Amino acid sequence: MARAFIGIGSNIEPAKNVRAAIHSLARQTRLIGVSTVYCTDALERLEQPPYFNCVAEIETELSPVQVKHAMLRPIENELWRIRTQDKYAPRTIDLDLIVYGELAMDDGDLRLPDPDIFERPFLAIPLSELAPDLVLAGYGLRIGDIAAKLSLDGMRPLRDYSWLLKEDVSRRVK
């Protein structure tokens, strides 16, 4: 079983869609934990609604490519994710495999660990909540150290929503 981390984001009905995505993950694999959910400004498009972002930790027997194409893409499709040429377009859900065990890879379709972790606090900070001592494969750096260097500006923790989401998931998983 591999330990993997999934970045989750939504800015179209985010409360509903983040919850639905986490429930779908819990039905398909072993969900270990979910970080605090943060409300963040949309990248590059401040006129768009803000995002809800978090990270989920799972255990899986699937390969990284299978996680992306056989698990995450179908969940996105189920939640009506529409992919366009505009990588900053609003979305019902965005699910990205950001870390997969101790694997470092770049096959053109999938880069692990996701290099955006170094630049995007909405990935690094929630990831560090779940696994502060995790050393990123290929970099030799602890995620806790990476997150400590990033600013929380533009990130607002949604503590009540996060607590309710975690309670809801724990009831469903039992």
pTM: 0.94
Residue 12 lies in a domain: yes
pLDDT digits (tens, 9 = 90+) for 104-154: 999 988 999 999 999 999 999 999 999 999 999 999 999 999 999 999 888
Pairing mode, strands 2-10 and 38-40:
unpaired
Q: Which residues contact 88 (CB under 8 A, 6 or more apart)?
A: 42, 43, 44, 45, 48
pLDDT digits (tens, 9 = 90+) for 112-124: 999 999 999 999 9
Which position has the higher pLDDT, 9 or 43? 9
Domains of the chain: total: 1
* DSSP type of residue 79: T
Residue 49 lies in a domain: yes
Active site residue 91: yes
Active site residue 45: no
Range of the domain at 37: 2-163
CATH code of the domain covering residue 126: 3.30.70.560
Catalytic residue among 30, 41, 73, 96: 96
Active site residue 96: yes
Q: Which residues contact 97 (CB under 8 A, 6 or more apart)?
A: 4, 5, 6, 7, 64, 67, 68, 72, 110, 112, 114
Residue 102 lies in a domain: yes
Catalytic residue among 19, 91, 114, 120: 91
Catalytic residue among 19, 94, 114, 120: 94
Active site residue 159: no
Gap between the Cα atoms of 120 and 117, Å rounded:
6
Residue 42 lies in a domain: yes
